[in-house]
Structure 1
């Protein structure tokens, strides 16, 4: 069986190593009151599957058939929602960034959400292994009354597996525009030993599992009390979280002692915030 973790530690030169180059895009439209697939393209390791769902929005499941990412890998994802469509995009499993010897792995995601449409971007967590190097960019263009709910969570080493991350490079850049105007920008850069740069109270007080939720919709500010009540129900000895809202958007940040604590908190928070269960792949 191919083991990406072992392969990423190979001393072979970059010219001798196979690299992931995946591209997937999908479009959705509203037809007879239901959201339906309008177009689909996939190449390389990037795949999209559309499971049957009942009484839930159309759901697209992302799969990286390479099993993870390492230096030099490239993944490009695009989703377009036409007027009135509603779709959820999630992932089959956690994404993994393995040890890199040849520069960063790069992931780009682009969303276009039309008038009255809503995209829920709810992938499972990204796990950063020791000496990994990952650069990710997310861009969204929203119509004036479109909605975007997006989550990204990161785990720096799996505590239950006894993993230690001594060095990591991770860069994450979000740019959200509404009717062409930049309404949200967020940049995160993690470099070095996470037990050092995350130790202080201004970062995560030593927690190595973090998540950011963005609700960018006309009703987002109205949900602040709900978000804070859901945060208040989380176990404060295992999870730290806060939420704020302004200018038509709500942001919640969570940190946790372990990956399992973070996942449990996210399932509880998102189920309550969305008033709906998470996609089934989250529970597999």
Structure 2
């Protein structure tokens, strides 16, 4: 299996996955509700929740084993027209030693007309000798709204040596419902090849953690992007930037930040999400730790 840009996925066929999850949500009356929920192997879905009175439905993905090893998992998620989904994880995604090849996560999201997706998983932690590949594809209608984030952190090492994981590849591709490419992001962090210089100039610039936020939708106009820049400036993170654009009629803005802790990046993610909600749904600031 490969993407249109030539990136090769690492799993092939349903039997190649140690865990699968299929979720479809639709709108019924004033609430979004599950239409289809299926999970197997090492992935599970917790029961649906409505965390506020907006009608948005929330799901948390669980890995009962607590971590990934040399295995592949896949998520397929559909947000039907007019529905709203908040998808998160019950805890951090941990990648341990992968002696039989990389751990792989493939995720495919489809967001219909007038629908909204917020994908806010906990941080991704790679431990010693971990090799990880993550391929995320989003297909969205022109009037849909998408908010996705990712925080990456190196796992603790008993020797106290930083960056002892082998490598990490994170690929995100967004397409219009008609197939046109809106944007793509490709991140490779390879301490196994670069060694101690991974935190140097041109790589992680003295930082240990990386965070990304991508927002797409018709509400992402010039004033919105300016407000996001102000939030990034106010975060106090010296190594953070904002990029914006539009293609196939879908505007987008991305924040990428480097820091020395998960907390610093989480605070920025939540501030940007709070602004996004204030402009779109009017929902309050996320506080998933209660659930």
TM over 0.5, yes or no?
yes
Select between 259-268 and 75-84 the one with higher mean Cα deviation: 259-268
Alpha carbons 1:115, 1:143 under 8 Å: kept: yes
Q: Which residue of 2 aligns with 1:280?
A: 288
What TM-score comes out, normalization by structure 2 length? Answer: 0.83
- Taking the TM superposition and a 5 Å limit, the aligned residue runs for 1:58-207 are 58-71=57-70, 73-158=71-156, 164-179=162-177, 180-191=179-190, 192=192, 193=194, 195-200=196-201, 202-207=202-207
Alpha carbons 1:231, 1:241 under 8 Å: kept: yes
> How many angstroms apart in 2 are the aligned matches of 1:75 and 1:252?
27
Q: Which residue of 2 aligns with 1:33?
A: 30
> How many angstroms apart in 2 are the aligned matches of 1:204 and 1:269?
22
Unaligned regions of 5+ residues in structure 2, if any?
1-15, 279-283
- Secondary structure of the residue that 1:220 maps to in structure 2? coil
Q: Which residue of 2 aligns with 1:4?
A: none
Q: Which residue of 2 aligns with 1:226?
A: 227
> How many angstroms apart in 2 are the aligned matches of 1:230 and 1:217?
19
| Displacement of 1:244 | 2.0
Question: Structure 1 pair 107/177, CA: closer, same or farther in 2 (3 Å)?
Answer: same
Select between 49-58 and 139-148 the one with higher mean Cα deviation: 49-58
Q: Which residue of 2 aligns with 1:22?
A: 19
| Displacement of 1:242 | 1.4
Q: Which residue of 2 aligns with 1:244?
A: 243
Question: Structure 1 pair 194/221, CA: closer, same or farther in 2 (3 Å)?
Answer: farther
- Secondary structure of the residue that 2:273 maps to in structure 1? helix
Question: Structure 1 pair 64/250, CA: closer, same or farther in 2 (3 Å)?
Answer: same
| Displacement of 1:255 | 0.9
| Displacement of 1:246 | 1.0
- Secondary structure of the residue that 1:140 maps to in structure 2? strand
Alpha carbons 1:157, 1:163 under 8 Å: kept: no
Task: Give the CA RMSD over aligned residues.
Answer: 2.2
Q: Which residue of 2 aligns with 1:258?
A: 261
Question: Structure 1 pair 119/126, CA: closer, same or farther in 2 (3 Å)?
Answer: same
- Secondary structure of the residue that 1:145 maps to in structure 2? coil
Unaligned regions of 5+ residues in structure 1, if any?
1-18
| Displacement of 1:26 | 0.8
What TM-score comes out, normalization by structure 1 length? Answer: 0.85
| Displacement of 1:43 | 0.6
Q: Which residue of 2 aligns with 1:53?
A: 51
| Displacement of 1:235 | 2.3
> How many angstroms apart in 2 are the aligned matches of 1:68 and 1:212?
22
> How many angstroms apart in 2 are the aligned matches of 1:194 and 1:177?
35
1:235 partnered with 2:233? no
| Displacement of 1:158 | 4.6
Question: Structure 1 pair 120/163, CA: closer, same or farther in 2 (3 Å)?
Answer: farther
Q: Which residue of 1 aligns with 2:208?
A: 208
Q: Which residue of 1 aligns with 2:10?
A: none
Question: Structure 1 pair 268/115, CA: closer, same or farther in 2 (3 Å)?
Answer: closer
- Secondary structure of the residue that 1:93 maps to in structure 2? coil
Aligned pair count reads 260
